[in-house]
């Protein structure tokens, strides 16, 4: 049972319920990166980066065991964002693959999935972990979470989100059985596996190195680790 005082907060969906180093280490004051530079998303934290239309963003599963919650917002209007309620209808699958357009909540492409060196096991069904989730799992104190990491990553570059959309959970292994049950399993990716996206419009992308350490989605050892990313001009 979730405590009422936790469920009643925050009064807006853009307000984090705690803080961590995400607020202190933006890639730059406004999120503009150095092209070709590799950035770190520390374990249990998040990062936001601007990706101009025609540029690519590569996210790297450095250790192979780490889930990365991934969002993309229109830089012109953060109320438009990559949406999996809309995206699954656009691709007629529950998991995107290379070549797919990834759709916004206004049903237009926001990214294109260009490359995936992993086995292609990702998730679009599970919401970002949040304080409510960890309270339900028995935590009695603040626990780092992807929802707050997303909020703080945007705040660190001068934005306040209005909500936490459904992320693309990179490398998260949530198989659906024939009887429609799901399981929470470790990633099947290898160290150094990467995915690359092409920006269809100017976007602000957000990544969270998922802090989940209670169920084994970040590996059987239950130890969240860092991921890396870089933005490049398309060649």
As a whole number of angstroms, the distance between CA 103 and CA 60 comes to 22
Over range 189-194, report the average pLDDT.
98
Give buried/exposed letters for 105-142 (b at 16+ CB in 10 A, else e).
Answer: beeebbbbbbebebebbbbbebebbbbbbbbeeeeeee
Q: 10-19, 83-92, 119-128, 131-140 — which is least confidently predicted?
A: 10-19
Is the pLDDT reported for residue 205 higher than 50? Answer: yes
Q: Which residues contact 22 (CB under 8 A, 6 or more apart)?
A: 45, 46, 47, 148, 149, 152, 153, 156
Q: Once rounded to an integer, what is the mean pLDDT over residues 153-174?
A: 96
| 200's tokens | 């269809």
Q: What are phi and psi of 120, to 5 degrees?
A: 85, 20
The reported pLDDT for the residue numbered 1 is 45
How many structural domains comprise the chain?
1
pLDDT band at residue 4 using 50, 70 and 90 as cut-offs: low
Query: Average pLDDT over the chain, rounded to whole?
Result: 95
Q: Residues 17, 142: contact at Cβ < 8 Å?
A: yes
Q: Is the peptide bond between 206 and the residue preceding it cis, with omega within 30 degrees of 0? A: no
Residue 211, Cβ density class (10 Å: 0-12 exposed, 13-18 middle, ≥19 buried): buried
Band of residue 11 on the pLDDT scale cut at 50, 70, 90: confident
User: What is the residue range of 70's domain?
Assistant: 4-233
Please check the confidence at residue 9 and state whether its pLDDT lies above 80: no
């Amino acid at each position: 049972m979730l405590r009422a005082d936790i469920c009643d907060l925050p009064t807006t969906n853009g307000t984090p319920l705690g803080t961590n180093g995400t607020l202190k280490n933006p890639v730059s004051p406004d999120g503009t990166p150095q092209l070709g530079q590799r950035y770190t998303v520390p374990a249990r934290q998040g990062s936001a980066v601007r990706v101009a239309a025609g540029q690519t963003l590569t996210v790297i599963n450095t250790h192979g065991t780490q889930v990365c919650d991934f969002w993309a917002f229109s830089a012109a209007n953060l109320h438009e964002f990559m949406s999996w309620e809309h995206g699954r209808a656009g691709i007629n699958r529950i998991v995107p693959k290379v070549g797919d357009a990834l759709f916004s909540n206004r049903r237009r492409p926001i990214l294109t999935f260009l490359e995936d060196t992993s086995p292609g096991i990702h998730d679009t069904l599970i919401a970002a972990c949040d304080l409510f989730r960890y309270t339900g799992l028995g935590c009695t104190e603040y626990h780092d979470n992807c929802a707050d990491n997303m909020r703080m990553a945007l705040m660190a570059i001068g934005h306040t989100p209005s909500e936490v959309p459904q992320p693309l959970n990179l490398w998260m292994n949530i198989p659906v059985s024939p009887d429609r049950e799901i399981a929470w399993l470790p990633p099947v990716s290898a160290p150094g596996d990467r995915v690359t996206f092409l920006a269809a419009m100017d976007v602000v992308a957000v990544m969270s190195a998922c802090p989940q350490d209670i169920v084994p989605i970040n590996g059987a050892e239950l130890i969240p680790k860092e991921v890396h990313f870089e933005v490049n001009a398309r060649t």
